[in-house]
Structure 1
Amino acid sequence: MRTPVIDVAIVGAGPYGLSVAAHALGAGLDVRVFGKPMRAWEQHMPRGMLLKSEPDASHLGDPDGRYGLDAFHRYAYGEPVPVDRFAAYGKWFRARAVGQALDESEVTAVDTEGGLFALSLSSGESVLARTTVLALGFLPFAHRPGVVAALPPSACTHSSDHHELSAFAGRDVTVLGAGQSALETATLLAEAGAGVRIVARAGALAWNDVPVHRRSIMSRVRAPRSSLGSGWPSVAWSRLPGAVRYLPEQARRHIVRTTLGPAGSWWLRERFDGAVAVNLGTRLTACEQRDGIRLHLKDASGAVTTLDTEHVIAATGYRVDVARIEILGEHLRRQVASSGPAPRLSRGFETSVTGLYLVGLAAAATFGPAMRFVCGCDFAARRVTAGLVGRLRGPRRATRPTAS
């Protein structure tokens, strides 16, 4: 049986993959998107979690803007979005904007064959595509600090490894980190009956302000709102991600590293205070596994203490690294040019391999912090689709995937 050839294969059916599919289908391209819709949001976010992003910053992208979150469920100003409802919204979006173009098979490998991209599927089938868009989300890039990286999963996990935290009831758990993921994971653990503490290098926890619906004119001028929060820099990074690409590399890195630093949502603080112990201003220097896990901590004065716990959860974020995109064949990974570990992308999100595109978190080093959040979906989908149309229908139509 002949392997089918399609215009566009999209790997990943989360917010970015579904948004690119909706736009590419709207442009008349032959598209198939692979993966279980919203899988990471359903299986790798803790039950009971609320989105930190405001509802008006949580829309997926379709060409006519008909299927935003507000078309699925209307939220009051400042009302947080439960993760299970957001996952349901993604599936609702898929049914209306993507339809039968979804194949729930997982892509296990992407390579090249006869001038095309060859995708191997978990179903045992294979597909050939003229172009491929990797919408891998955050899971491949989960970061575990080197100090705990050697611990087995029974002793140390990443926050993205957990959906059901009730299994930790009655256990002593240490959460590493001071951002929203760490603070909310710790709170949910405490509410599930675990004894839990936060260990972080930060000297104090930061909390976002309660949003004010009606603000004075001067307040709005000084700190206008955007999908990335308040302030003129946030407005620039959220509304002009295409311009971020033209900034010097060092400036882009600084923007991504410092925009929306570690902080907890305003609605979480009351639940957190008094329920979770905190050990701040300390650096984890070593650990060892005995009956449990012993952590060696050093504070700012250089004093060293030890802490015994039963399990460690690293809520320490994500670090993009091309080498960790394991579904790409080794020769393709080598061909994807990078600045450090992050890929270099064209204005249309194309890598140095002709016809291979990367969206979502993997594009943050090029287009800025909006790509770390759902709010970047529509921009990425429009830019990628324009690139796909030019690549597939333009005078420079590719005949084979090559490094450019």
Structure 2
Amino acid sequence: MRTPVIDVAIVGAGPYGLSLAAHALDAGLDVRIFGRPMHAWERHMPRGMLLKSEPDASHLSDPARRYGLDAFHRHSYGDPVPVETFAAYGNWFRTRAVGGALEESEVTAVGLEDGLFALTLTSGEFVPARTAVLALGFLPFAHRPGSLAALPPEVSTHSSDHREPSAFAGRDVTVVGAGQSALETATLLAEAGASVRILARTGTLAWNDVPAEHRSMMSRIRAPRSALGSGWPSVAWSRLPGAVRYLPEAARSHIVRTTLGPAGSWWLRERFDRAVTVALATRLMAAEHRDGVRLHLRDATGTGTTVDTEHVIAATGYRVDVARIGILREDLRGAVASSGASPRLTRAFETSVPGLHLVGLAAAPTFGPAMRFVCGCHFAARRVTRELVNRLRGPSRTATKHI
């Protein structure tokens, strides 16, 4: 029996995939979303982690805005949200806004056959779709420094590889990085019984200020709040991602790189200071594996030193690269035009392959830093749904009334 062709296949069931599914279903499209809901949040973030994003910037998006985080989790101003709570919220959102449209089979490959997108599932099922949206999150883009390339995976991992800090109890661990992921990973490891050091190129660790709930009128004018933090630039990047796309590529790259740069949350600092050893202004030059791991370092004066450790964790962020979207078959991946390593996207998040869209972190080089965070879900879901409706149904006042 021939498998029915669906309108929209959404690959990935994290915040962006679930939000897009909620909007597309409300618009009357035939949608299936594939993947384990909130998988990366449940399995690739350390137990005990707290979200750096404020609760008011952590809502998934549904057209009527009935299923925001505040409808699931009551919080006081400035209270960080535990990752376990956020993952549970995503699953709660799924049951209410997406329902039976989600299939937990993973997609192993996406190709093009006879003008349709062809999805192959782990279940062995083949699903044809008129359009496809990849909401792959951050996992495909985990960045590991080249200086760690000589180490085998059993002694060198990325921060996204770990769920249980307690697995390192009693071991010597070196964390590379200076951002929230590095600082919180190191803290959780130390609190779980590991001996932990941070290696960072920066000469000083940055820490975010304690948020003030009540501010003067002048303070609010000088530095208004936004989902990306305080200040007029942050307001612009969070509220106008569509405008960011029209900036020169070099400007977009600078904005994405510098907005919300490496810094730790205010609520983490005391815990970190009492638990973690720090080596600042230190560059990791090379690493070798013998009985353990030996790291070759260079300080700000150019002096070389070595550190022996049992395990290295690279908390060095994520870099979007079309070549790393391994779920796309090689011919389809090669057809996705890019600027450098980043995909070229239209105003509707569409790649150079008609009907193929990318949302979430993969869209950050085009639409700016909001796409690095949950706060970008609403804009992406609305914009992509509008394009899908126009493509699949034609302009329709009925179909687009909630978009």
TM-score range, shorter chain: over 0.9
Deviation at 1:167, TM superposition (A): 0.9
Q: State the one-letter code of the partner of 1:131.
A: T
Deviation at 1:114, TM superposition (A): 1.3
Q: Give 1:390's aligned residue.
A: 390
Q: Give 2:105's aligned residue.
A: 105
Deviation at 1:150, TM superposition (A): 3.2
Q: Give 1:41's aligned residue.
A: 41
Deviation at 1:104, TM superposition (A): 0.2
Deviation at 1:234, TM superposition (A): 0.2
Q: Give 2:167's aligned residue.
A: 167
2:49 is equivalent to residue 53 of structure 1:
no
Q: Structure 2 length normalisation: TM-score?
A: 0.97
Q: State the one-letter code of the partner of 1:4.
A: P
Q: Give 1:265's aligned residue.
A: 265
Deviation at 1:393, TM superposition (A): 1.8
Q: State the one-letter code of the partner of 2:167.
A: A
Asked if the contact 2:150/2:289 (under 8 Å) is kept, the reply is no
Deviation at 1:300, TM superposition (A): 1.4
Greater shift, 144-153 or 78-87, is seen at: 144-153
| 1:3-402 map, 5 Å | 3-394=3-394
CA distance in 1, matches of 2:280, 2:300: 10
Asked if the contact 2:150/2:288 (under 8 Å) is kept, the reply is no
CA distance in 2, matches of 1:191, 1:4: 52
Asked if the contact 2:17/2:33 (under 8 Å) is kept, the reply is yes
Asked if the contact 2:23/2:385 (under 8 Å) is kept, the reply is yes
- Moved >3 Å (runs of 4+): none
CA distance in 2, matches of 1:4, 1:276: 56
Q: State the one-letter code of the partner of 1:85.
A: T
CA distance in 2, matches of 1:62, 1:375: 13
Deviation at 1:152, TM superposition (A): 1.2
CA distance in 1, matches of 2:151, 2:296: 14
Deviation at 1:61, TM superposition (A): 0.5
Q: State the one-letter code of the partner of 1:253.
A: S
Q: Structure 1 length normalisation: TM-score?
A: 0.97
CA distance in 2, matches of 1:74, 1:47: 21
Deviation at 1:73, TM superposition (A): 1.1
Deviation at 1:153, TM superposition (A): 1.3
Deviation at 1:180, TM superposition (A): 0.1
CA distance in 2, matches of 1:124, 1:108: 9
SS state at 2:297 partner: strand
CA RMSD across the alignment: 0.7
CA distance in 2, matches of 1:322, 1:331: 12
Q: State the one-letter code of the partner of 1:59.
A: H
Q: State the one-letter code of the partner of 2:221.
A: V
The count of residues paired between Structure 1 and Structure 2 equals 395
CA distance in 2, matches of 1:223, 1:46: 33
SS state at 2:98 partner: helix
**Residue deviations 1:354-393, cap 9 Å, x none?**
0000000000000000000000001000000011111112
